[in-house]
Amino acid sequence: MEFHQIEKRFSPEALVLTVEKLQIAAGEFVSLVGPSGCGKSTLLRLVANLDSPTHGELRLDDGVDIERAFVFQDANLIPWRTTWQNVQLPLELRRHLTQEDREAISDALRLVGLREEDFQKYPRMLSGGMRMRVSLARALVTDPHILLLDEPFAALDDLLRNQLNEQLLDIWQRQKWTGLFVTHNVPEAVFLSQRILVMHARPGRIVADLKVPFDFPRTSDLRSDPEFARFCGEVVGHLAGVAHA
Ligand SMILES: Nc1ncnc2c1ncn2[C@@H]1O[C@H](COP(=O)(O)OP(=O)(O)OP(=O)(O)O)[C@@H](O)[C@H]1O
């Protein structure tokens, strides 16, 4: 994925996002952190092709039909559809379902930690964490090359967020889609990512591109490593505009 001199304006006088040059390799997991209004969601929407740049070029792999899936903070499930039917939706919109599709739905649901007894439940019968798992399964079932996640776990408590972070990382390690993850939570960004892009507002721009210095696989123990706390402090410094040594 390559950004070349991208600019996004919603009106001629307001430059919302500017990205001179940015490259993200296939299979990378990158987080975007920054204050409210700095253009994180706008950047994701450009990659998702839900919006287009005012200027510049955003290139995805040449000649390949890039499958993109989006997960939002709100699970956005259809209330009158069961768990299974919600996850089936993106496949059903494309084609007549095959046995292979049914297996893919079952695999996606199990991968995110849902059990067979949950498959026929309606969203109102599920907890917030389970609804988010369904939303994640609905994105994964399309076998995306790029997974765009816009604060997917922001509404969940810390314990559940940590657990879902560990599962997401585990899924990424198995499937190796390219992950673009927006969060306000610095430890979450550090735990998940290989790279963190720190953004500032007015105009929205990337001010730091940080390599996260921890190996994979990562386990929950990493969060209590003093080096983890130190690196989180470094990211916070960049957010505040104070570069750390
Ligand atoms: N469709 C739109 N029309 C006009 N302005 C918009 C539109 N979408 C976003 N903006 C503006 O663009 C700027 C960046 O918005 P964006 O949602 O990308 O920020 P963000 O960093 O994701 O913020 P948050 O962390 O609060 O979600 C904001 O000033 C916002 O008001």
| Cβ-Cβ contacts under 8 Å for 106 (sequence gap 6 or more) | none
Say how far apart CA 33 and CA 191 lie, in whole Å: 13
> For 147-173, what is the mean pLDDT?
94
Share of the chain above pLDDT 90, in %: 89
CA of 151 to the centre of ligand 1 (A): 14
Say how far apart CA 160 and CA 147 lie, in whole Å: 21
Name the 3-class secondary structure at 89: helix
- The whole-number pLDDT of residue 194 equals 98
CA of 36 to the centre of ligand 1 (A): 8
> For 102-120, what is the mean pLDDT?
95
198 lines ligand 1 (CB under 6 A): no
> For 69-91, what is the mean pLDDT?
96
Check whether 244 has a pLDDT greater than 50: no
Domains and CATH numbers, the chain: 21-53+156-245 (3.40.50.300), 82-144 (no CATH)
- The whole-number pLDDT of residue 65 equals 80
45 lines ligand 1 (CB under 6 A): no
Q: Whose CA is nearest to atom 16 of ligand 1?
A: 39
Q: Which two tokens stand for residue 165?
A: 């972070």
Task: Summarize pLDDT for 161-172 with one digit per residue, the tens.
Answer: 999 999 999 999
Task: Summarize pLDDT for 173-188 with one digit per residue, the tens.
Answer: 999 999 999 999 999 9
- The whole-number pLDDT of residue 61 equals 76
Check whether 245 has a pLDDT greater than 50: no
Check whether 95 has a pLDDT greater than 90: no
40 lines ligand 1 (CB under 6 A): yes
Name the 3-class secondary structure at 197: strand
State the DSSP code for 125: G
Provide the mean pLDDT of the chain. 94
Q: Which two tokens stand for residue 242?
A: 């104070």
pTM: 0.94
Share of the chain above pLDDT 70, in %: 97
Task: Summarize pLDDT for 10-55 with one digit per residue, the tens.
Answer: 999 899 999 999 999 999 999 999 999 999 999 999 999 999 999 9
Check whether 4 has a pLDDT greater than 90: yes
10 lines ligand 1 (CB under 6 A): yes
**Closest to 32 (Cα-Cα) out of 172, 181, 155, 177:** 181
pLDDT category at 60 given cuts 50, 70, 90 is confident
> For 62-89, what is the mean pLDDT?
92
42 lines ligand 1 (CB under 6 A): yes
pLDDT category at 243 given cuts 50, 70, 90 is low
Q: Where are the beta strands (DSSP E) in 98-177?
A: 146-150
Minimum mean pLDDT among 36-45, 222-231, 235-244: which range? 235-244
**Closest to 3 (Cα-Cα) out of 38, 50, 41, 52:** 52
